[in-house]
Every structure is written in C-alpha cells, then in structure tokens.
C-alpha cells in the first residue's frame, strides 16, 4: 500500500491524494462536450464563435467562461452589432441559462472514460492513494455525468463542482483544497492535481500541489479519438508540443499525453519528495 523503496531500501514518501479534472482528463477525450455547447449557446443569440474561441477559457466555471468569452473584443463586437449595446451581467446570466439545459442534455453522450483512466484509478487505489476530483461543470451537469461515468468505472472518492463553493472556482485553489479537506489529506505537498487546462493547472499550483498537465487527451489538443486517428502525425506532434508548452507555462511540473501515463509520473514525484524537493 503506497510503499515503494529507494535503491537504498528506504521507503519513498507516500502520495496522499490525486485530484483530477473531468472532461479531457478522466472522460470525454478531446473535451468535446462543453466546447460545442458554448458555440451552440452563443449562436442562439446571433453571435457566432469558433471552437477555438470556445476552448480558450476552458477550465473556468461555466459562468466565468461565458464572461471571459464576452470580454473577447471580436465576440463583444458581434454582440454590440447584434444588440446595439455592450453586454451586461444580465446577458451573461441569459447565455448561462440557455447553456445549462443544452449541456445537461448532451453531457451523458460524452461520459466515456479516456483510455487508461479506469486502470490508472485502480492502480492508485491499490497504492492507497485517495482520489479526488473537481470540474468547471456546475453541479447540475455533474449530477447527470457521474452515474454514467461510474457505470464505466470512473468513480472518485470526492467530487466538487464549479459552482458550489462560495469562494469561487479556478484558477483559485478552492476546489482543490476542498478535496484535501474532504479526503483528509495531511500535506498538500503530497497531493497531485491532474488537469488538461491552464486554469486547472494554476488551481493546483495555487493550492501548493504537484501539477500534471494532459496534452493529447485534453482541451489544448482538442481532437476526438476519430479525428486523432485520421490526423497527420506531424500535425498531432505540433499540437501536443504546443499544449505541453501552454501547460508548462501555466505551472505544470509534468506534461503527459493522458492519465494512462500518470503512474510513472507519480513514481518520479515520490523520488523528488525523497530528495527533499517540494512543488
């Protein structure tokens, strides 16, 4: 149970908890469910955004995501042209209210585990590591997603939604720290945050944790599995490299393709802890 030894035979420090994001991290390869719904929700107001624009603020709570999109000059220009005025907080609320039922309707269709995620969670549990999670999804959306994910083997010990903490969401540390409290972890320096978005990595760094960014499976690359299979390998490599740079610049200690690669990284973090390093 969480006992690995150094070459000298001394046990390595234990990892207490790993806190995962959801879309693009544990489920929904490419983080497709939230992205397309932002495009669809804005289009119902006569404002047309691209998938790339929709991906930009990914990782924020959904209301903050909408606020950030409306702050984009090109999107705000469309809004002003359509409505003859700048957007307001009431408009953010209106888009959010349009977004929510659309997201609830679609999220279950994107609940399939990312390849390797189920085995990774099993491996962590066998090592005595607690499994937390948090998401930019509101609780209403997570309540639809969670039973489908659990049926496929993705069932963390704790889940925090993007809209349920008074202190707020990412990039603040609050959801990650709420997991620490709920899981009873003693030391954030022995906790790991795993995420495919820059706000999610910043969340983990602000909480004082080791941070692992996910490239190929996540929002930064943005391929579905079918698109990935058909893509030019050179283009895939370029996207992965760009994603790794973005996540590393946000503070990730490691950038890997997907959660399938996480167990090896955990062993590296244990080695670093044994040498006295901290996040």
Query: Active-site residues: which are they?
Result: 21, 62
What are the tokens at 271?
């080695």
Phi and psi for 61 in degrees, rounded to 5?
Answer: -60, 155
Q: Is 167 buried (19+), middle (13-18) or exposed (0-12) by CB count in 10 A?
A: exposed
**C-alpha gyration radius of the chain:** 19
Phi and psi for 210 in degrees, rounded to 5?
Answer: -65, 145
Residue 11: count of CB within 10 angstroms of its CB: 12
CA separation (Å) from 16 to 124, 163, 174, 224, 257?
A: 10, 26, 18, 32, 23
How far apart are alpha carbons 30 and 179 in whole angstroms? 25
Angle at 237 between CA 234 and CA 239, to 5 degrees: 110
């Amino acid at each position: 149970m969480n006992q690995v030894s150094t070459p000298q035979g001394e046990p390595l420090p234990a990892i207490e908890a790993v806190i995962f994001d959801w879309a693009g991290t544990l489920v929904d390869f490419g983080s497709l469910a939230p992205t397309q719904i932002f495009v669809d929700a804005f289009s119902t107001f006569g404002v047309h955004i691209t998938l790339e624009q929709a991906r930009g603020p990914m990782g924020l709570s959904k209301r903050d995501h909408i606020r950030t999109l409306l702050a984009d000059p090109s999107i705000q220009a469309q809004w002003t042209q359509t409505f003859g005025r700048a957007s307001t907080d009431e408009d953010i609320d209106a888009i959010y209210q349009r977004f929510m039922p659309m997201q609830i309707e679609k999220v279950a269709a994107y609940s399939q585990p990312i390849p390797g995620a189920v085995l990774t969670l099993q491996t962590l549990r066998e090592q005595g590591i607690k499994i937390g999670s948090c998401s930019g999804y509101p609780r209403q959306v997570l309540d639809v997603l969670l039973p489908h994910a659990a049926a496929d083997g993705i069932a963390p010990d704790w889940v925090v939604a993007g809209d349920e903490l008074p202190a707020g969401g990412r990039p603040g540390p609050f959801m990650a720290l709420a997991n620490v409290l709920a899981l009873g972890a003693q030391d954030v320096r022995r906790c790991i945050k795993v995420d495919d978005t820059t706000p999610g990595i910043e969340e983990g760094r602000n909480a004082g944790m080791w941070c692992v960014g996910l490239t190929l499976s996540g929002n930064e690359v943005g391929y579905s599995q079918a698109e990935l299979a058909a893509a030019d390998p050179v283009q895939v490599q370029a996207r992965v490299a760009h994603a790794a740079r973005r996540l590393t610049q946000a503070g990730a200690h490691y950038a890997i393709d997907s959660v399938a690669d996480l167990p090896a990284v955990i062993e590296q973090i244990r080695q670093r802890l044994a040498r006295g390093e901290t996040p």
